[in-house]
Amino acid sequence: YVNEGQSTTRQLAISHGFTLPEGEANSSHKLQRLCVRRAITEKNWESTRHQIETRSGIQLPENMPNYTSHSQLIEILLPGKRSTQISLSDLERYFSPAIFMLPGRDGVIVSIKHDFSEDMFRSGPQSSLLSPPQAILRRERVYVSSGRTRNVFTEGAPILFYESLDGRGRGSVIAIGRITQVRVMKKHEAEPSIKARGVLNSRLLDLISSDPHVTEVTFDNILVLDKPVELPTLRRIGVADGANLVRAKKVAFTKILEILNESTSHD
């Protein structure tokens, strides 16, 4: 519900996928949005299409398209059978949190320590008694890596988070998101956004790398996996080597799909 006179709030809500309920006048204060809350694969494409159409009147393509880029256009039918095209990036934003795992969409897997994982995702089996950091309240959050890893990350790519075994960590992939921006910055330049949307302080930032630069990865559409995918399974799938995922590395679409399949017993 947007109060009268809050035009900026209204415009921001619409830009993030909120729409007028069917039958409401343009002047209505009511806005609504459908949250899909899942990674959408060929396995659950048909059920997802049905749920979206039933609840919003929007029809996705009958067959899941292949991936070309995060800006690729996808043809959908709006209520009233009106055809339009929307970019994959906008489609995910409108249905967020949602990640459309179109065939061919490769990604990246990164390592995060347990304490930082809890601050970033609150995904552990036990709830923390401490106040959450700012990052947990943000739609977009920031992951920081060495400046030398810039070429591993691509805007629009899925990013898998592996909670390392260090410090009571689970040794499992625990969440997935979507990369929205990648920047190489000097450490002192990265501090403001990291404090607002990340979980590191200046001292920890210095420990990441002796390099004066860091790679700042902004991501959204965060989905905590129903079931963490443990290290032995990751080794069987072929995404974990002898280094046990210490460094960020690219992951093929087929491997991501296997991880997602392992993370849930039903859809």
- DSSP code for 46: H
What average pLDDT does this structure show over 70-98?
92
Contact 159, 179 (CB under 8 A): yes
Per-residue model confidence (pLDDT) at position 120: 82
pLDDT for residue 100 is more than 90: yes
β 249-251/107-112 pair status: antiparallel
The model's confidence at residue 218, banded by pLDDT at 50, 70 and 90, is very high
The model's confidence at residue 132, banded by pLDDT at 50, 70 and 90, is very low
Longest dimension (CA), the chain: 60
CATH number of this structure's domain 107-262: 2.30.130.30
> Which residues are paired to 224 by β-bridges?
175
Percent of the chain with pLDDT over 90: 48
Per-residue model confidence (pLDDT) at position 22: 60
The model's confidence at residue 126, banded by pLDDT at 50, 70 and 90, is low
The structural domains of the chain, with segments of one domain joined by +, span 1-33, 36-104, 107-262
Lowest mean pLDDT across 19-28, 31-40, 249-258: 19-28
Calculate the average pLDDT of the chain.
Answer: 82
pLDDT for residue 72 is more than 50: yes
pLDDT for residue 149 is more than 70: yes
Distance of CA 14 to the CA centre of its chain: 20
54-69 residue pLDDT tens: 988 889 999 999 999 9
The model's confidence at residue 195, banded by pLDDT at 50, 70 and 90, is low
Contact 176, 39 (CB under 8 A): yes
Distance of CA 82 to the CA centre of its chain: 29
Cα(259)–Cα(84) distance, integer angstroms: 33
Lowest mean pLDDT across 45-49, 117-121, 208-212: 208-212
pLDDT for residue 34 is more than 70: yes
Q: In terms of DSSP H, where are the helices of the chain?
A: 7-15, 45-56, 88-94, 114-121, 187-197, 202-208, 231-237, 253-262
| Tokens matching residue 242 | 């002898």
The model's confidence at residue 207, banded by pLDDT at 50, 70 and 90, is low
Percent of the chain with pLDDT over 70: 73
DSSP 198-265: SS--HHHHHHH-SSSEEEEEEEEEEEEEEEEEEHHHHHHHT---TT-S-S-EEE-HHHHHHHHHHT-S
Per-residue model confidence (pLDDT) at position 200: 60
